[in-house]
Structure 1
Amino acid sequence: MTAARWKLVSGALAAIAVLGATTACSNSSKDDNEILVYNAQHESLTKEWIDAFTKDTGIKVTIRNGGDTDLGNQLVAEGKNSPADVFLTENSPAMALVENAGLFSDVDPGTLAQVPDQFRPSTGKWTGIAARSTVFVYNTAKLPADQLPKSLLDLQQPQWKGRWSGAASGADFQAIVAALLVQKGEDATKAWLKGMKDNAIISQNNTTVMKGVNSGQFDGGVIYHYYWYRDQAKTKENSGNTQLFYFKNQDPGAFVSISGGGVLKSSKKQANAQKFLNFITSKKGQEVLRDGDSMEYPVASDVAANPALPPLASLNAPKIDPSKLDAKKVTQLMTEAGLL
């Protein structure tokens, strides 16, 4: 078979596979007692939520897992034809992307009432379901506490060349940059990204950053808090030589990222989709965060965090409307800086 003919055959097979997957989704959507969740949260956490929700309500939940950006872009591409009923993310920019495309229904007032204003967008088109704090993880043998950066912005200075790391291509890190853009503006963000390009050792993900700091490959790194707390709760294999530094003082490095949940306007199962979102933000749903091993922060129904974590209110994070986090602009700026 010629290469050209094989390309045609393989393309046809791929199209049939996509059609089959779409048909399967469409057929399953006929079950009124089942919803489909596009899930960019951690699979284990979402499974805990789903299991508890189904036990409580009898409503079945099917999940399609993916990354924040990938699923957000997929929803925008699918538009009103999306089979999804609910979208869950780790970070806010993908939620803002879908919101700006006009694809979310209003969240039920009863659900919004469970979530304080600072943990949801002002628009009411989606809501916070969990939170994670930006931190600077550092190797205690290589970086004395009195030499820590006083601000995230300090990491653009020449003295930090080759000494810190961040996972530039990850949705987590890009959410931090999106918050910097809102808080400090485009010029300051461009300058900081240039400094990152000059100074940082780019890692694949947050776990790789933490491992590199722990091994002494670099002095410190920018990650989210829960990676460290999860490892500390287990073997400390990847964090035993490190500590966390919280910038606080409404510094860009104190950014708290809100994980989001929203109901798609195109969903034919609005009532059950809204019930699912309500459950996640209810006391029972938020207790999954407190009592499980996710080490993420509850944000609703007055549920306190896992006792191992510093209280969220003590972090003095900058106040940023999560609807304002611009994923597209961040991608543009990071690409221009040579980081993507």
Structure 2
Amino acid sequence: MRNGGKIAALVSALALALAGCGSTADQAGTQGAAEKPTLTLYNAQHEDLMKVMVDAFTKESGIKVDIRSGEDPDMAHQILQEGSASPGDVFVTENSPAMTLVDGQGGFAKLDQATLEQVDQRYRPATGNWAGFAARSTVLAYNPKMLAAARLPASLMDLAAPEWKDKVGIAPGGADFQAIVSAVLALKGEDATAAWLKGLKENARAYQGNGAAMRAVNAGEIPAAVIYHYYWYKDRAEAGTNSKNVELHFFGKQDPGAFVGVSGAAVLKASRHPAEAQALVKFLTGEQGQRVLAQSDAMEYSISAKVPANPALKPLGELAAPDVDISSLNGPEVTELMRQAGLL
């Protein structure tokens, strides 16, 4: 009886030990299954906006994102140079020409159909390889103390006329202005664009970015400048220090000066984590991501029909923007025309 009791005790102890091992193994398996990859985001958008949107995505999905920031054309060329060895998973831009450049070289994977269906056809190319998630309107920022409303140009093209000499500022080295030029090229053709750029070379003062151009208008250094809308709205939403003497002129009437640029998002074909990368792009373009954008202080336009833009903005539907195929905007041709005009 004593031996039988010992044997029973040993069997019981062994069973408990085995059960403990099984529990440990199950826990390890569960932890392993719960681990999710960290995505690498090649970001050419404003970093503060993307951090807010990415943080919301991580909170929702549990997928972390490493943000590597740069400029539109620089990051596009980096992706093409890296090819299949790229460590990137998702690429987002401020403007669409950089997306078109990479897409044209086969650098993107096709987006999931559910993602594409979230985005109006105006804001995505026919290839289905990338989609817009934010928009920005071209405007003329002007100082009403220097330029009366009655003297505002009817068209962006008017700024090449002799009467605008030393009266307008531009930021030719930036992707924003180059995207605007790409819209002029798409709408007016090469000859008209080249002539317009030649006139701007004679008339315009060059600044390092939209913010610098707006500050120059505010300071009375120059009467007007071509910028994107949100620089003014963001400053006005804060202290208005750099915009208190500035108003905005919306060209409307389908003029090139009413061009609405699109910020794009795409999954790199080289992505090691395609499912998670697709999830990020779906989030950015979907209702939840668009709500984060609209409620942020970025002052860019949300493009989802389900999510109105920040109420401080002039409604997107009232901008009377020209109909431009965003996949036709040609960055390399634009920079070559600008070099020929002496603007780069």
* TM-score above 0.5, yes or no: yes
Q: Does 1:278 align with 2:289?
A: no
Shift of 1:267: 0.9
- Structure 2 CA distance, aligned partners of 1:186 and 1:81? 36
SS of the residue aligned with 2:225? Answer: strand
Task: Give the equivalent residue in structure 2 for 1:265.
Answer: 269
Structure 1 residues 94-151: Cα deviation after superposition (integer angstroms, max 9, x where no partner):
0001001111111111011111111111221100010000000000111110000000
Query: Letter of the aligned partner of 1:273 in structure 2?
Result: A
Task: Give the equivalent residue in structure 2 for 1:112.
Answer: 116
Structure 1 residues 67-104: Cα deviation after superposition (integer angstroms, max 9, x where no partner):
00110111111111111110000000100010011111
Task: Give the equivalent residue in structure 1 for 2:331.
Answer: 327
Structure 1 residues 294-339: Cα deviation after superposition (integer angstroms, max 9, x where no partner):
0000012521000000110100101111111111001100011110
- Residue segments in structure 1 that go unaligned for 5+ positions in a row: 1-30
- Residue segments in structure 2 that go unaligned for 5+ positions in a row: 1-34
Q: Does 1:245 align with 2:249?
A: yes
SS of the residue aligned with 2:294? Answer: helix
Structure 1 residues 249-300: Cα deviation after superposition (integer angstroms, max 9, x where no partner):
1100000000000001111211000000001111110011111100000012
Aligned residues of 1:281 and 1:301 also touching (Cα < 8 A): no
Q: Does 1:170 align with 2:178?
A: no
Aligned residues of 1:32 and 1:269 also touching (Cα < 8 A): no
Instruction: Please show how residues 181-330 of structure 1 align to structure 2 within 5 Å.
Output: 181-330=185-334
- Structure 2 CA distance, aligned partners of 1:130 and 1:81? 29
Aligned residues of 2:36 and 2:62 also touching (Cα < 8 A): no
SS of the residue aligned with 2:253? Answer: coil
Aligned with residue 94 of structure 1, among 85, 88, 98:
98
Query: Letter of the aligned partner of 1:103 in structure 2?
Result: G
Task: Give the equivalent residue in structure 2 for 1:69.
Answer: 73
Q: Does 1:138 align with 2:142?
A: yes
SS of the residue aligned with 2:321? Answer: coil
> Which structure has the larger Rg?
2
SS of the residue aligned with 2:133? Answer: strand
So what's the TM-score if we normalise by structure 1?
0.90
Query: Letter of the aligned partner of 1:296 in structure 2?
Result: E
Runs of 4+ with >6 A deviation? none
Aligned residues of 1:91 and 1:258 also touching (Cα < 8 A): yes
Query: Letter of the aligned partner of 2:155 in structure 1?
Result: S
Task: Give the equivalent residue in structure 1 for 2:17.
Answer: none
SS of the residue aligned with 2:261? Answer: strand
- Structure 1 CA distance, aligned partners of 2:310 and 2:53? 17
Shift of 1:168: 0.4
Task: Give the equivalent residue in structure 2 for 1:55.
Answer: 59
- Structure 1 CA distance, aligned partners of 2:67 and 2:235? 27
Aligned residues of 1:106 and 1:125 also touching (Cα < 8 A): yes
* Identity in percent: 53
So what's the TM-score if we normalise by structure 2?
0.89
Q: Does 1:126 align with 2:130?
A: yes
SS of the residue aligned with 2:79? Answer: helix
- Structure 2 CA distance, aligned partners of 1:130 and 1:216? 31
- Structure 1 CA distance, aligned partners of 2:103 and 2:89? 14
Aligned residues of 1:167 and 1:203 also touching (Cα < 8 A): yes
Aligned residues of 2:53 and 2:293 also touching (Cα < 8 A): no
